[in-house]
Amino acid sequence: MTLRALIIDDDPHIADVVSDIVTSLGHASDAVGCQDEARQRLATTAYDYFVLDLEIPVRAERSLARLQNGMNLLSELVASRLGPVIVVTGFGNNGPDQGVACVKLGAADYIAKPFDRGIRSLDSAILEALSKVGKYNPTPVDRKPTSPPRPFPGGEMQLLKKRLVLCGVEVPLSPLMHRILAVLSEKTAAGKYAAFSGDELAEHDGVRCNRGQNGISETIHLLRKRISAAVLRDAHIEVGDQDIIRSKGLGYRISDAITVVVGARRPALVTAGEFENISNDPDQSGHDPDDVPVSGRNVPDRDPDVPVNVPDLSDRQQWIMSLIGKGTEVRIGMVVEHFRCSEKTAKRDLSELKERRLIRFVGSPRTGHYRLM
């Protein structure tokens, strides 16, 4: 189940930044700008946690934003026991007293703006707060790789509507991030990626960032951090700041080491017989993914046995559904082997398909497999 946050901040720019951070964690969010709107949302929607700016107005039509308004709402949220509250405010820059007062009232944590300049990030504060109430289980420390991460080799970056795929790792994108990448993916007549200044990107018809070059700079900074963290965590590959989007010299541009593919590539359909020699143990699969036949550029028609009208499936999930639709007994190891992704990523893809009631697991945990519902 996707966790949902309520963001309470009267500054639309800050609310957008927080929304991007929440999205990067794989969570959903709603944003309001005053006490009254927050109370209205709470009356109709359940939330798992809250990100609260203290200096907010009582009603949207009134411009007076008071620190005490946020403190009063914090007390209400804590008393209701609906979920942890992470307080974010610029007042923390004046000293620790405000943070101490918030924690005494019951706030799960207190983070000063700007979020990327402090010792602790808003991301970590959210995850720590959720962990304390049993809504987040971090990966055990003993599963961390012992070898140093590999350097980023370049290669293909797949740009989808709400995410990108790099090194087999999915990275969620905000709408502005997607628009920026789509424009930067354009090439000149010489076949090179086009370069843009921050102002040019902000004013580009395909981007439309009303926060100007500062909004572009902040969004690209957050995108770089998001890509780096995800690829390091799931693929053990270190992606540097200039490895994807370069910004020195000519302006913002995609690195020449990157090949951007816009839209989903659908793997070709594979019949059950082509996987007859795969071991029942998903960790011992000996299948060579290069043996999987492709049609054209991996963009086949949808398998007639796969349920139609299924929106927003990743390329891995489309591949899983096409195999199952042809009668193949799909296991986690097959997904890991074919896409060179982590076991964690494969399990997440399969779990999402189960939650959407598209597939089910049959058999024992060790030797079972997935089928259509």
**Which strands sit side by side in the sheet containing 155-159, from one edge to the other?**
169-172, 163-166, 155-159, 258-262
**Mean pLDDT confidence for 210-238:** 89
Q: Which amino acid is at 227?
A: I
Q: How many residues does the chain have?
A: 373
pTM of the model: 0.46
- At residue 272 the predicted structure's pLDDT band, cuts being 50, 70 and 90, is very low
| pLDDT given at position 340 | 73
Residues 6+ apart with CB under 8 A from 180: 201, 207, 216, 219, 220, 223, 252
For the purposes of burial, counting CB atoms within 10 Å of the CB of 141, is it exposed (0-12), middle (13-18) or buried (19 or more)? exposed
| pLDDT given at position 144 | 57
| pLDDT given at position 284 | 36
CA distance 33 to 15: 9
Q: Among 218, 217, 216, which residue's Cα sits nearest to residue 204?
A: 216
CA distance 234 to 198: 31
What is the Cα 132 distance to its own chain's centre? 22
| pLDDT given at position 157 | 93
Q: Among 309, 311, 166, 271, which residue's Cα sits nearest to residue 226?
A: 166
Q: Give CB contacts under 8 A, 24+ apart, made by 356-365.
A: 356/310, 358/307, 358/310, 358/321, 359/320, 359/321, 359/324
Domains of the chain: 4-132 (3.40.50.2300), 150-262 (1.10.10.10), 272-372 (1.10.10.10)
Helix intervals (H) in the chain: 12-24, 35-44, 67-80, 97-105, 122-132, 175-184, 198-203, 212-235, 315-325, 332-339, 343-355
- At residue 312 the predicted structure's pLDDT band, cuts being 50, 70 and 90, is low
| pLDDT given at position 145 | 60
pLDDT in tens, 148-180: 889 999 999 999 888 899 998 888 888 899 999
Higher pLDDT, 206 or 295: 206
- At residue 277 the predicted structure's pLDDT band, cuts being 50, 70 and 90, is very low
CA distance 326 to 305: 7
CA distance 330 to 275: 9
Whether the per-residue pLDDT at 116 is higher than 70: the answer is no
Higher pLDDT, 328 or 295: 328
Whether the per-residue pLDDT at 231 is higher than 50: the answer is yes
